[in-house]
Amino acid sequence: GENVEQHPSTLSVQEGDSAVIKCTYSDSASNYFPWYKQELGKRPQLIIDIRSNVGEKKDQRIAVTLNKTAKHFSLHITETQPEDSAVYFCAASRATGGFKTIFGAGTRLFVKA
């Protein structure tokens, strides 16, 4: 069946450093790749997404890259801050409504002040 692999499971960085989380997916039909951030005790929230017709998307300190040939996509956070500490989930789906979303297992990011 479809699956999404996410690495690393835990990531600790110093404030100001960059953090990179990588995911691979199995379903070739996937064309929508959202990233969710879940802070402790809160709901997952969409922070950025990318569709398969682009290779990179940036929003301030966060960026996502997609390699559709290799079925890889990554989240990059620059100039990390303590408030970036959270669990991050990658996911793969299809862009139109009506198709299930497959999530990775999550990466717990610690940003040390």
Partner 1 sequence: EAGVTQFPSHSVIEKGQTVTLRCDPISGHDNLYWYRRVMGKEIKFLLHFVKESKQDESGMPNNRFLAERTGGTYSTLKVQPAELEDSGVYFCASSQADTNEQFFGPGTRLTVL
CB 75 within 8 A of CB 57: no
Strand 107-112 versus strand 10-14 pairing type:
parallel
Binding mask 77-106 for partner 1 (x = CB under 8 A): ------------x-x-xxxxxxxxxxxxxx
**Using CB under 8 A as the criterion, what x/- string covers residues 4-43 for binding partner 1?**
x-x--x----------------------x-x-x-----xx
Residue 46 binds partner 1, judged by CB under 8 A: yes
> Closest Cα partner for 20 from 65, 69, 70?
65
Quick one: which of 7, 22, 47, 49 contacts partner 1 (CB under 8 A)?
A: 49
CB of 68 to partner 1, least distance (A): 17
Contacts of 104 by beta carbon, 8 Å cutoff, 6+ apart? 4, 5, 6, 23, 89, 90, 91
Cα 36 to Cα 57: distance, rounded to the nearest angstrom:
15
Residues of this chain that bind partner 1 (CB under 8 A): 4, 6, 9, 32, 34, 36, 42-46, 49, 89, 91, 93-106
